Amino acid sequence: MQSELLKIRSYFFSQLSHLDNHRLLLADIGELLAVKGTIILSPEGINISIAGTKANTEQMFEACKAIPSLEKLVPKKSFLAENPYEKLKVKIKDEIIRMNQPEINPEKKRAPSISSKTLSKWLTQGYDDDGLQIRILDTRNDFEIKMGSFDSSIDWNLKKFSDFPQIFEKKKSEIPNCRIITVCTGGIRCEKATLYMNENGVANAVQLEGGILDYLDSTDGKGWNGKCFTFDNKTHQDQDYMPNF
């Protein structure tokens, strides 16, 4: 009987240097451990989605965590019947999630956030802890939202995440005066989106820490309908961001 496989996904915004050296080392370790998936290194941090045997995947994650300034990297683990990835890719990119806004630096300043349990509570009562009405802004691509979303969430029909700043400028006047909670699959897109909104006049925006996947794992899923799409399968590619975030 085939052993169950472990998938680890994680991201962390932090200033990284010596990227070529880290890439070569991680590629060598990954080949030795026969782990598959994608690791993106960038001056602003790391984005990981890998799978393999439990012991080997955990060792690969520890190799990533050993990079200076990534000591606080936290794994999000799940088990699989088969590996969804064909090979290991270790890439260097300008951003771990492309936004084309160099003034947004989450590696220097983290976005304000709320936990999944807090969002569940707010959805039940209809307002935040300050009495503000809440609205959810979904920062995922339009086809992802069609597969599943929170009730009455704001959908700007994004084709790719890097369009967010331009769409925001067009829609900014339509944003209600309330607590805006940005969501995405695993947290990486909504973190940058929240910072962008905070820096551009929407002070009440916060992100959902851990994204939709954490919300579905740690709550009863109140307010959510449908499926949460991930890019684990081998037929979907997206140039702007890594699978699962």
Which residues form the catalytic set?
Answer: 184
- pTM for the model stands at 0.89
> What strand order describes the sheet that includes 45-52?
76-80, 5-13, 45-52, 36-42, 88-92
pLDDT tens by residue, 24-75: 999 999 999 999 999 999 999 999 999 999 999 999 999 999 999 999 999 9
Boundaries of every domain in the chain: 5-92, 113-226
Per cent of the chain over pLDDT 70 is 93
Of 189, 181, 136, 195, whose CA–CA distance to 163 is shortest?
189
Asked if domains 5-92 and 113-226 share a fold, the reply is no
Q: Digits of tens for pLDDT over the chain (245 positions)?
A: 356 899 999 999 999 999 999 999 999 999 999 999 999 999 999 999 999 999 999 999 999 999 999 999 999 999 999 999 999 999 999 999 999 999 999 999 999 999 999 999 999 999 999 999 999 999 999 999 999 999 999 999 999 999 999 999 999 999 989 999 999 999 999 999 999 999 999 999 999 999 999 999 999 999 999 999 887 644 333 434 454 56
Name the CATH topology of 5-92: Alpha-Beta Plaits (3.30.70)
Residue bearing tokens 């939709």: 212
Topology of domain 113-226 in CATH is Oxidized Rhodanese; domain 1 (3.40.250)
